[in-house]
Structure 1
Amino acid sequence: MKNRKLRSLLISLGVIIGLLIIVAGAATVVIRSLLAAGIVSQSDITSTLVLGSKYFIAIGIVLLLIIVLLIVFWKRESKFQFWLKWESLIVFLVTIVVSMTSMIFGPMQGLMNANNAGTSINSISKELSNDGNQLTQQISSEGTTLLQNTKGYLPIKAKKVNVFGWASTSPFYGGTGSGSGNTSKNIDIYQSLKDAGFTTNQKLYNFYHNYRKSRPSSGSILGADWTLPEPKGSQYSKSLINQTKKFSDTAIVVLSRSGGEGNDLPTDMRNMAANQTYHGRKDDFNKGQSYLEIDNPEKEMLKLVNQNFKNVIVVVNSANSMELGWLKNYSHIKAALWMAGTGAQGFEALGKILKGEINPSGRTTDTYVYNLKNTPTYNNFGSYYYSGQEAAYVHETENIFVGYKYWETRYLNNQKGYRQHVQYPFGYGLSYTTFKQSMSKLNVNKSSGEISFNVTVKNTGRRSGKDVVQVYYTAPYYNGGIEKSATNLLDFAKTKNLKPGESQTIKFSFNRAEMSSYDEKDGGHYVLDRGEYQIQIKNNSHSVIATRNYNLSKKITYNTLLGDSGTTSNQFQYAENDGSNFTYLSRKNNFANYKEATKAPSANTKLKSNLLKTATLAQNYKNTNSSGSMPSQNQNNNLVLSDLRGKSYNNSKWNKLINQMSVSDMGKLITYGGYQTFPIRSIGKIGTHDFDGPAGFNSLFASVTSKLNTTSFPTEVMLASTWSKQLAKKYGEQVGKEGKQANISGWYGPAMNLHRSAFGGRNFEYFSEDPKLSGFMASNEISGAKKYGVYSYIKHFAMNEQETNRFYIKKDGSISGLMTWNTEQAIREAYLKPFRMAVENGGASAAMTSYSMIGNRWSGANKQLLQNILRKEWGFKGLTETDYFAGGFLNANESILNGGDLMLSTLGNAQVTDTSNPKVVKAMRRASHNILYTVANSNAYAKGHYHKGQSVLWNYQQTLIRYIIVVAVILLLLQILVVFLYRRKYVKKS
């Protein structure tokens, strides 16, 4: 009898522990898959487990209690044993169900919402998908840039072509990370050539395909493999070369370079960062050679092609500007085309351009130089740490002189020096035809400061084509005065398709305030110095077509810049000096301080101690002092969010609506902002979907990806290279239409940081080195998407110009940010200008802040940036969201108290604490207001009225609840069965 009871006890314990192991094992599998996919980090899991520990504690306590009861009472009579075992099992199962349900609908809800978005999004229609593909092809057609066309070689007459370069079999359609797109249904280079009527050499294709079938992982958030799979020259057999020569005398060479989130491109392929790998041959790159130079196998291939083919065309497939001086070294290279990331369908343009069906009209978005080591940013871009202090930094010592603004200023009136350094100026591009541009006189309204003029463009060649009118200005510079570039892009326009002999007149109008410079003196303001202003139309940043002068007799000061809502004043002077006394580049005496300003920082550079202590790092945060009276929440005002749609931001009903929310409601709304906005029952707020990224909607979550068939657009570099505001508007409208059909309301794009360096890992998802070009493209995208109810998250706000140390893991395992130092003038004139245009011209109502720290203040908790500039100065109405909430130096309390609203968090690691403090609760109310205002005016509320009491649950939640009900019924039936078995076994016997 004892043995039977002991055996029964052990079996009972085994069953219960086995169930626990199964649950734990399933959780482990899920966690590992999330980690492997990069959806969450280890710190996310840890923080969520800490928050969810109370649910696991309940399971542990019940299990421990059951074990104790089974051991203590294992000698009791059979009737008692029967009840103890079965009721223990049922109680344990109920505990697991209740705990897991509480966990899923508690701290795991954000992740569950994001991971199950596929249950509530829709596939877009075939017709809309076709529209997206057509637009992608049009953008690539107009964005492809003709860099070289010796003696008008293109378009080509050949029908057969040899395609060289392994990259031809696996080109880059975009970049990696959140800005990537779905290219599973792509058109590759060979398909493009075939569709245009060309025949390609299959034996050459097979040679590359057999050499390597797929490209190595070109980049991820966690690391990158920069291997370039290119055969050595000796690997091309003599028979293969002879066969290619017989096949055609024309060769197309394809070279590709990639970039991605989390990693900047290597400046030295022999000495890469810890999270970068290279599996190519050691001798492929010479010592000190960068990723943006051609490697030795590529040189050998180019030499081989040049020796054996009369006509060579090069296709440069890279969003990052490469060193292309080698194009001059091969006599048979007749033409070169630049194609940045094309999206899934964009390569279809290549064959049509080569054939002449499309006349290329793209222009460069960056300055192409012969040697990137000579750029003023080179020595101050990358990984730098303060000596003896665990803090990363970057000194942006070039000041306002980013890209062409340096080269055009440094070599003003020095054509020889300019040509030694610059190969292709900013805004450069050739055509198959010729154009003549003529500029009218200026029409000046002296009272308003409005200046207007016309530009007439005539096609003087023999082919139809489009031209780009580029308008620049030069402001008077006084040696040692306010820093100014010798030329600045002011505006641009693209013509319609002009037939030979056809003309088009385009009117330009602007206010003279747009030519002002920021002056930090006397508190800060914008000024127009007295003197002569040159307004020019150019072929590019360097080649002048016509000039008109505007003279200003006296200095004008602007305390409120045109378009702003508030007054201007210094906000970022604290970010100019970290205590190490580095030097900013100055135009004074023609950059006399160039060597000192652009040198690499010393290894002994130290951060002023108080700047580390006062930095907006989580470890420095202390609960704010309690002040004021606690707002009254949980009121019943009988409002739902849809009642506020279309109401002004300051409408009194917003306060009444927010009064209905509990502090817990506001906390959930703020915390769970990862790829969504959270549903709130008390105000009838449904949940919305917010998706990545700048190249069209995409998602890291498998359940979404399988259903998402939205367009994979070209990269923002390709869009910017069209120099077409109209195409940018169409791009945004297509995103808006797709979002509306797919049930997606928020779009994590466009991204508009600058190409400060050619090595920027995310240059593919940023437009240009120029703020005006970036701002015009972005604002048109945003207004286009907004037309169909999609709110665009302008990002990364601000100063996210490099990926290196964007956030880095410290020795103690915590995460910290990159301290970025620059002048107030440069921050405003260069890095903030695209965002200002996006708000004031594009109507942006959402912004994603960056990991970057402006000086020692994290952008996501930077009062000067989020309140003083964005809201007060620019008049922004809407929400701000952090970049992915990875813990570490990020702090939700600090963010909302300084102007942040939403946390890009799928887990519970971004919770607002200290909610008994009236000051914190008031900040939560403001944040909730901003989020709700944005969502109420989106496509989520375009179709109808949502009533209080109507379900705000996601589809998957409704399904889960049905499953929970089924499980509850099963447990109830199990309990009934236990009672039945007990009665049959024991009651009848008695």
Structure 2
Amino acid sequence: MLEINMDDVIAVVQSIQGELIAIAAFIVLALAVTIGVNAKTVKDQAVRKLTHSTSWVVVGVAAIASVTMMLTGPLNSMITMATAEKHELTADTIAKTNDLAVDIEREGITLLKNDDANLPLKAGKLNVFGWASTNPIYGGTGSGALSEGYDTTSLLDGLHDAGYETNDALTEFYTDYSTERGVISVTAADWTLPEPAASTYSDQLIADAKDFSSDAMVVIGRVGGEGLDLPTDMNKDGVIYNDNSADYQDFPEGTHYLELSQSEKDMIDLVTANFDNVTLVYNGANAFEFGFLNDYPQIKSVLWAPHPGQAGFEALGEVMTGEVNPSGRTADTFLTDLTAAPNWNNFGAFQYNNVAEFEVESARGTRSPKFVNYVEGIYVGYRFWETAADEGLVDYDTLVQYPFGYGLSYTTFDQEMGDVTYADGKITFDVTVTNTGDVAGKDVVEAYVNPPYTDGGIEKATANLVAYEKTDLLEPGASQTVTIEFDDDDMASYDYQNAKAYVLEEGDYTVSINENSHEEIASAVIDVPETITYDTDDNTHNGDAIVATNVFDDAEGDVTYLSRAGHFANYDEATAAPTDYAMSDDVKATFYNNGNYDPTKFDDADDEMPTTGAKNGLRLIDLRGADYDDAKWDQLLDQLTFDEMDDIIANGGYQNAAIESIGKIRLSDVDGPAALKDNFTGVGSIGLPANIALACSWNKDLARQYGETIGDMAHEMQVSGWYAPSINNHRSAFGGRNFEYFSEDPVLTAGLAVEQVLGAADRGVYAFTKHFALNEQETERNGQLCTWSNEQAIREIYLRPFEEVVKADGDAQAMMGAFNYIGNTYASAHTGLNQTVLRDEWGFKGMLETDYFSGTNYGYQTADQAIRGYTDIMLASTETTNHVTDHSATSVIAMRRAVHNILYTAVNSWRYADGEPSDPTPAWKIAMIAADVALAVVLLALEALAVKRFVSRRKASAK
């Protein structure tokens, strides 16, 4: 999603340019008449004055008519939303939400290191170093930004509330240096880290700190947000930051944003030279380079405190003191060198060099297609590192600092794996978890599968998370038995080259419970006696309604994908940076944007025009609870006119529009992902911790409460739809929206996202799960970005969370598309994705919306193409290319299908739970009508006065 920015302003001006031109034309005409009708041309003074007066009355009438047309036309939706009644949260809901935020952060904080049992640390005096201690990260930017309308618990507040007394002199030193972090918006960023140079710490400040306490904490913070990925090179063109000293660069040549700056290194040198017991707190969402820890034995403990929302920092002090035992686990792999990731050379946007014919002019200049290659295939995150280590390609211990699923505790646990059964297509076993330590705590059971692999066969990783559960709080000596169960087709792989279907190959599958992706606790072997290919109607994969077979051949492109064959023999070739920047002729033949898309070329002459404007007497409320295929839907849809259908399809930005004739009220849909944020009324909810914190908790119960709380707040704010959860993949540590996406692993993401969606659905709130699909980066996300990937990776990695959300939820829901192209087709117009996979295979029933719609500015979004690509509603708040222009039968059939999906979702929301809701005329429209009437009376009076004076002058001249 986009926050309101200059693109919006430009789009608004463009949408009303016709009316503005009309007003200007009438003014010019009146001036011409005024100047032209003078004593030389018209001798009769009475006629001359009447002409002058009447011409300006006509201008007034034209202005009133034009402004009214603007307000009731292009600006209608925006003004209606901006002037809507504001609904605030109750005190009880605020308190409840804050409590949940703290609970999530309690389990999301992850203990990465704890030498010599440095933590927990008894409450007392504590030196807190690092500028980020006074300006920490609470959430992301863009649609993930938090509301300023609520109190926020700071990092230092959390420590104070836990009983720590922090060094005020250090705090004052940092706040005197800077109180603001560099601004990061959806279009520009200042990546400055205002960390004071070590030379600015006075000897007295350090001496006083040592006298104050022998304990020290260092805080490092990193921020990310919508619209921009984190810089992989801090010195490339376009990256803006200010150094903290004239004596050195904060980021020398070849350095990136997820490693220490020179000022941070110097500060850590200073702290570790004076303190032997140091705790480092990393406050960020993106996996950071912690290789430097090996150089500082004084840093005894490390805590990862992901974005905590507005209240979550309360948990930090509790974890520090031991009141809360940390139970978080990493949701990503932490590398000592992020440049070693297999996608390092293929993250970002690469400009095609032969696409002049597809250039489009936009508010931000000329735009032309770009590309990104997902060269690593299925080997994303730990799947690569574990497999590469097993194949002898990498030295795991040198490159991986903290594995996926890693986290320490203040206590110890024993996990005992029970007998594994494989019957009726299900694998089941119990795991008994016992707290063998001295303090209460929670543990995570992580189950992985290592499938049989044939060299050169279907690609398979040696470690694949297949299921997980989190225990209750276990007292010392207490045990809990959790059951792990999953289907055998969860172990299947997608063979896109031969079978073109999911395949569960015969052989031995090692099922293990692990401390993390790398350290096995216990395992058992499951024998699959014969290969199962899921390619018939009575044998589909994961309950698919139809057989899943290749639909993304057009997205594979001419890319060499990483293969395990020959111990990753093609690693160097596959992971190299692109050398071919030409779009092939085959790709060009079916590449469309606003410059060359003509909907009439895709009309089917055999299509019959559907009925419109019928008088069947149905109201939308009559269809609440009705099956999606109920015959009454056709009768209701027959009642709608072309304009009514076009209006609700076109105006889906932060709402879905009213259709008065069937009792469809306007419903409010608002931004997420960690809160509800109405960009027009300015009302926002409490900000919960970002999804990365929830992912580190590995707690599905908390995820369910997250969704339920969103639903409760939505009721109080009169909101029906939530633009969340965001479930794209952490393909790269530098992803700008990794804070709102969950993890590098689709199974961890899916388990938590499902619970969020079900929690909101329980309250009748439809969640727009997003961004569908392959939106793993922000760089040029809306710049006609052709994303190339093979079908196996698309299905196993990038679509898996979306699939689980759809299949878990039988209620009407919603989904939001992505800005990027999949292969050479805009994601929101990709029929294979939006119809074949989403609806035909998975059985999705509900509405699919575009991401923010600014076709004039982006150059490739049109409602005509989107509805034919099985997208239903345009997330547009201004007039661009969001209206359907083709009135053919083919087009009207697509419109009808889209409106069916919108209305099905709407009527099954909570707003219709108690019967047909009312939708009073907006106050601004009443005011506009009153003003129009008043101005009309004034103009009529002025014209009457002019005529009266004309008559008087004529009589006077006659005498």
Give the TM-score normalised by structure 2.
Answer: 0.93
Partner of 2:358: none
Q: Is the 8 A contact 2:129 2:218 kept in 1?
A: yes
Q: Residue 940 of structure 1: CA displacement?
A: 2.3
Indicate yes or no: 2:546 matched with 1:566: yes
CA distance in 2 between counterparts of 1:483 and 1:198 reads 52
Partner of 1:727: 702
Q: Is the 8 A contact 2:652 2:873 kept in 1?
A: yes
CA distance in 2 between counterparts of 1:963 and 1:193 reads 57
Partner of 1:44: 11
Aligned length: 929
Q: Choose from 596, 599, 605 the match for 2:573.
A: 596
Give the alignment of 1:801-820 within 5 angstroms: 801-808=776-783, 817-820=784-787
Partner of 2:564: 587
Change (3 A) 1:972 1:277: farther
Q: Residue 55 of structure 1: CA displacement?
A: 6.3
Change (3 A) 1:507 1:957: farther
Q: Choose from 858, 874, 879 the match for 1:903.
A: 874
Q: Residue 59 of structure 1: CA displacement?
A: 5.6
Partner of 1:635: 614
Amino acid aligned to 2:25: G
User: Is the partner of 2:542 in helix, strand or coil?
Assistant: coil
Query: What 5-or-longer segments of structure 2 have no aligned partner?
Result: 356-367
Amino acid aligned to 1:461: G
Change (3 A) 1:214 1:521: closer
Partner of 2:257: 291
Partner of 1:655: 634
Q: Residue 521 of structure 1: CA displacement?
A: 4.0
Q: Residue 980 of structure 1: CA displacement?
A: 7.6
Amino acid aligned to 1:339: A
CA distance in 2 between counterparts of 1:507 and 1:685 reads 46
Q: Is the 8 A contact 1:440 1:454 kept in 2?
A: yes
User: Is the partner of 1:807 in helix, strand or coil?
Assistant: coil
Q: Which range moves more in the overlay, 847-856 or 934-943?
A: 934-943
Q: Residue 43 of structure 1: CA displacement?
A: 5.4
Q: Which range moves more in the overlay, 399-408 or 542-551?
A: 542-551
Q: Is the 8 A contact 1:164 1:253 kept in 2?
A: yes
Indicate yes or no: 2:193 matched with 1:228: yes
Q: Is the 8 A contact 1:59 1:99 kept in 2?
A: no
Partner of 1:930: 901
Partner of 2:400: 422
Q: Choose from 469, 473, 498 the match for 1:493.
A: 469
Q: Is the 8 A contact 2:377 2:790 kept in 1?
A: yes
CA distance in 1 between counterparts of 2:582 and 2:36 reads 63
Q: Residue 65 of structure 1: CA displacement?
A: 4.9
Partner of 2:814: 846
Amino acid aligned to 1:878: G
Q: Residue 631 of structure 1: CA displacement?
A: 1.8
Q: Is the 8 A contact 1:222 1:275 kept in 2?
A: no
Q: Is the 8 A contact 2:450 2:511 kept in 1?
A: yes
Partner of 1:382: 348
Q: Is the 8 A contact 2:670 2:679 kept in 1?
A: no
Amino acid aligned to 1:934: T
Q: Is the 8 A contact 2:244 2:263 kept in 1?
A: no
Q: Choose from 242, 253, 260 the match for 2:207.
A: 242
Partner of 2:788: 821
Indicate yes or no: 2:188 matched with 1:212: no
Give the alignment of 1:721-870 within 5 angstroms: 721-808=696-783, 817-843=784-810, 845-870=813-838
Q: Which range moves more in the overlay, 723-732 or 171-180?
A: 171-180
CA distance in 2 between counterparts of 1:677 and 1:953 reads 16
Q: Is the 8 A contact 2:26 2:59 kept in 1?
A: no
Indicate yes or no: 2:307 matched with 1:341: yes
Partner of 2:666: 687
Q: Deviations over 1:78-125 (max 9, x none)?
A: 544554444433332222112101111112223223433xx2341111
Change (3 A) 1:926 1:521: same
Give the alignment of 1:591-630 within 5 angstroms: 591-602=568-579, 604-622=580-598, 623=600, 624-627=602-605, 628-630=607-609
Q: Is the 8 A contact 1:221 1:261 kept in 2?
A: yes
Change (3 A) 1:414 1:590: closer
Q: Residue 956 of structure 1: CA displacement?
A: 3.7
Q: Residue 487 of structure 1: CA displacement?
A: 1.0
Query: What 5-or-longer segments of structure 1 have no aligned partner?
Result: 1-34, 809-816
Q: Choose from 516, 536, 546 the match for 2:512.
A: 536
Q: Residue 885 of structure 1: CA displacement?
A: 1.2
Partner of 1:526: 502
Q: Residue 942 of structure 1: CA displacement?
A: 2.1
CA distance in 1 between counterparts of 2:445 and 2:77 reads 48
Q: Residue 180 of structure 1: CA displacement?
A: 1.7
Partner of 1:516: 492
Q: Deviations over 1:225-275 (max 9, x none)?
A: 111110111110111111111111111110001111111111111224x36
Q: Residue 944 of structure 1: CA displacement?
A: 2.2
User: Is the partner of 2:255 in helix, strand or coil?
Assistant: coil
CA distance in 2 between counterparts of 1:37 and 1:877 reads 30
CA distance in 1 between counterparts of 2:590 and 2:243 reads 43
Amino acid aligned to 1:546: A
Q: Is the 8 A contact 1:114 1:906 kept in 2?
A: no
Change (3 A) 1:674 1:149: same
Q: Deviations over 1:913-966 (max 9, x none)?
A: 4433110111111111111111111122123224xxx75644443444344444
Partner of 1:4: none
Amino acid aligned to 1:314: L
Change (3 A) 1:772 1:68: same
CA distance in 2 between counterparts of 1:155 and 1:879 reads 49
Q: Residue 200 of structure 1: CA displacement?
A: 0.9
Q: Deviations over 1:330-353 (max 9, x none)?
A: 121111100111111111111111
Identity of aligned residues (%): 42
Give the alignment of 1:102-117 within 5 angstroms: 102-116=69-83
Amino acid aligned to 1:168: S
Q: Residue 800 of structure 1: CA displacement?
A: 0.5
Q: Is the 8 A contact 2:87 2:718 kept in 1?
A: yes
CA distance in 1 between counterparts of 2:196 and 2:552 reads 51
CA distance in 1 between counterparts of 2:953 and 2:92 reads 68
Indicate yes or no: 2:234 matched with 1:269: yes
CA distance in 1 between counterparts of 2:955 and 2:30 reads 28
CA distance in 2 between counterparts of 1:977 and 1:234 reads 80
Q: Is the 8 A contact 1:230 1:298 kept in 2?
A: yes
CA distance in 2 between counterparts of 1:698 and 1:515 reads 39
Partner of 1:881: 849
Give the TM-score normalised by structure 1.
Answer: 0.90
Q: Deviations over 1:619-652 (max 9, x none)?
A: 2312223522322211111112111111111111
Partner of 2:387: 409
Amino acid aligned to 2:676: F
User: Is the partner of 2:880 in helix, strand or coil?
Assistant: helix
CA distance in 1 between counterparts of 2:679 and 2:884 reads 29
CA distance in 1 between counterparts of 2:473 and 2:6 reads 45
Q: Is the 8 A contact 1:183 1:343 kept in 2?
A: no
Change (3 A) 1:368 1:519: same
Q: Deviations over 1:316-340 (max 9, x none)?
A: 0110000011122112111110011
CA distance in 1 between counterparts of 2:923 and 2:512 reads 58
Give the alignment of 1:306-385 within 5 angstroms: 306-385=272-351
Indicate yes or no: 2:447 matched with 1:480: no
CA distance in 2 between counterparts of 1:67 and 1:188 reads 64
CA distance in 2 between counterparts of 1:658 and 1:917 reads 17
Q: Which range moves more in the overlay, 354-363 or 956-965?
A: 956-965
CA distance in 1 between counterparts of 2:128 and 2:497 reads 59
Indicate yes or no: 2:526 matched with 1:550: yes
Q: Residue 558 of structure 1: CA displacement?
A: 1.2
Q: Is the 8 A contact 1:114 1:674 kept in 2?
A: no
Q: Is the 8 A contact 2:243 2:249 kept in 1?
A: no
Amino acid aligned to 2:669: D
Q: Which range moves more in the overlay, 405-414 or 353-362?
A: 405-414
Q: Is the 8 A contact 1:583 1:596 kept in 2?
A: yes
CA RMSD of aligned residues (A): 2.3
CA distance in 2 between counterparts of 1:276 and 1:262 reads 15
CA distance in 2 between counterparts of 1:638 and 1:245 reads 81
Q: Is the 8 A contact 1:146 1:360 kept in 2?
A: yes
Q: Is the 8 A contact 1:137 1:347 kept in 2?
A: yes
Partner of 2:651: 672
